[in-house]
């Protein structure tokens, strides 16, 4: 290996490709051609002996999460120096918030703005912000926990409720031969989908998946159109602006979903992590009690 021959430009290309998982987007962000980015990736792999990505058609897969984290760690102080040189604000922690919590905070825009003053806020699906945190792109993340994840120190749980349109006439299927209940779930692996299907099985309700989508706005449009029912955390009822959508009471309210805060212990002390957690969870817990 001849790592000493690796330039900062080469490492930056690797960083952008890992961040974007796209040579095209990385090239646009850096301002060079796609072929130049590919050449830099090949140069890194040749000089380091470390494979970075595997191409499967147009899809890129990261070979090693550990190497990706190291690359992000290497670029962090360099990006900080660049911000200082440009006179930009530095030092903000990067906070990842899942979409349902973000939508709830947008109902009280002052609280959302308050978050933005202290943090560089990133909003995304649970799987996306979890991946960003694991790769070192985020310092703090608040998201729902998968059923297989263990207990956290900073965690709260809330009920999941089923919602449907006012005109949703389909009754839940059962052993008497009724038509299966159409439900709308997320397209990718999701805690919401897991607990939704589990509650249906526990209630012995026959169902069919009418649609899968990871976009919350699209999901609510499909629900409002009467194509099926779906689950949301109870606190998210306040963010459902469509008056045609209501709680669907045909399914017993048996499932709860856990939300947890993950944080980079090298950058954040537990005391501050607790303060962030209290600020966010207070609104969630109060909201679902109010709606209850």
| Residue 142, pLDDT above cutoff 90 | yes
| Residue 6, pLDDT above cutoff 70 | yes
pLDDT of 236: 85
In this structure, the answer to whether residues 174 and 151 fall within a common structural domain is no
* CATH code (residue 185): 3.40.190.10
Both tokens of residue 194?
């897991």
In this structure, the answer to whether residues 43 and 61 fall within a common structural domain is yes
In this structure, the answer to whether residues 128 and 160 fall within a common structural domain is no
Which of left, alpha, beta for 87 (phi over 0: left; psi -120 to 50: alpha)? Answer: left
Buried b (16+ CB within 10 A) or exposed e, 237-269: bbbbeeeebebbeebeeebebbbbbbbeeeeee
DSSP H helices in the chain: 8-20, 23-30, 34-48, 65-86, 99-105, 109-118, 126-134, 191-202, 216-224, 270-291
pTM of the model: 0.67
Task: Give the span between the Cα atoms of 268 and 271, in whole angstroms.
Answer: 8
In this structure, the answer to whether residues 252 and 169 fall within a common structural domain is yes
pLDDT of 44: 86
In this structure, the answer to whether residues 164 and 234 fall within a common structural domain is yes
In this structure, the answer to whether residues 270 and 150 fall within a common structural domain is yes
In this structure, the answer to whether residues 285 and 148 fall within a common structural domain is yes
pLDDT of 155: 93
pLDDT of 88: 53
DSSP H helices in 34-190: 34-48, 65-86, 99-105, 109-118, 126-134
In this structure, the answer to whether residues 163 and 246 fall within a common structural domain is yes
CB 103 within 8 A of CB 216: yes
Domain count, the chain: 3
Instruction: Choose the final residue of a domain: 86, 110, 129.
Output: 86
| Domain boundaries, position 131 | 94-155+260-291
Q: What is the largest CA-CA distance in the chain?
A: 72
In this structure, the answer to whether residues 111 and 163 fall within a common structural domain is no
| Residue 288, pLDDT above cutoff 60 | no
Instruction: Choose the final residue of a domain: 67, 86, 105.
Output: 86
Average pLDDT, the chain: 82
- How does pLDDT run across 86-127, given as a tens digit for each residue? 555 556 788 999 988 888 887 777 878 888 888 888 998 888
Which of 5-14, 174-183, 282-291 bottoms out in mean pLDDT, i.e. has the lowest?
282-291
In this structure, the answer to whether residues 110 and 237 fall within a common structural domain is no
Task: Give the span between the Cα atoms of 187 and 231, in whole angstroms.
Answer: 14
More confident residue, 9 or 1: 9
* CATH code (residue 106): 3.40.190
More confident residue, 259 or 166: 259
- How does pLDDT run across 196-220, given as a tens digit for each residue? 999 898 888 899 999 999 888 899 8
Pick from 21, 11, 83: nearest CA to 48:
11
pLDDT of 2: 66
Instruction: Choose the final residue of a domain: 27, 59, 86.
Output: 86
Both tokens of residue 160?
């999941």
| Residue 175, pLDDT above cutoff 70 | no
CB 1 within 8 A of CB 11: no
Pick from 190, 172, 4: nearest CA to 99:
190
pLDDT of 64: 81
What count of other Cβ atoms lies within 10 Å of the Cβ of residue 183? 25
* CATH code (residue 46): 1.10.10.10
In this structure, the answer to whether residues 168 and 243 fall within a common structural domain is yes
In this structure, the answer to whether residues 150 and 160 fall within a common structural domain is no
Both tokens of residue 222?
């499909």
CA torsion through residues 28, 33, 34, 36, sign: negative
| Residue 73, pLDDT above cutoff 90 | no
């Amino acid at each position: 290996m001849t790592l000493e021959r690796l330039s900062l430009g080469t490492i930056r290309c690797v960083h952008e490709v890992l961040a974007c998982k796209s040579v095209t987007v990385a090239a646009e962000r850096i301002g060079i051609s796609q072929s130049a980015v590919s050449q830099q990736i090949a140069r890194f792999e040749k000089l380091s002996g470390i494979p970075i990505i595997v191409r499967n058609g147009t899809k890129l897969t990261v070979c090693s999460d550990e190497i990706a984290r190291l690359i992000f760690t290497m670029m962090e102080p360099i990006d900080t120096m660049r911000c200082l040189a440009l006179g930009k604000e530095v030092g903000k922690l990067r906070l990842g918030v899942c979409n349902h919590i973000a939508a709830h905070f947008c109902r009280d825009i002052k609280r959302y703005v308050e978050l933005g003053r202290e943090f560089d806020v990133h909003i995304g699906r649970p799987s996306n912000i979890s991946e960003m945190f694991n790769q070192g792109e985020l310092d703090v993340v608040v998201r729902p926990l998968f059923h297989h994840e263990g207990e956290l120190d900073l965690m709260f749980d809330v009920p999941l409720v089923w919602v449907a349109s006012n005109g949703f006439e389909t009754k839940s299927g059962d052993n008497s031969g009724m038509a299966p209940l159409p439900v709308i779930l997320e397209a990718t692996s999701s805690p919401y989908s897991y607990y939704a299907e589990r509650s249906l099985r526990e209630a012995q309700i026959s169902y069919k998946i009418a649609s899968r989508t990871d976009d919350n706005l699209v999901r609510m449009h499909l629900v409002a159109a009467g194509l099926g029912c779906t689950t949301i955390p109870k606190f998210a009822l306040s963010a459902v602006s469509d008056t045609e959508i209501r709680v669907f009471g045909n399914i017993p309210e048996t499932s709860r979903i856990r939300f947890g805060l993950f944080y980079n212990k090298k950058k954040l002390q537990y005391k501050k992590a607790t303060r962030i957690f209290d600020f966010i969870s207070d609104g969630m817990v109060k909201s679902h009690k109010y709606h209850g």
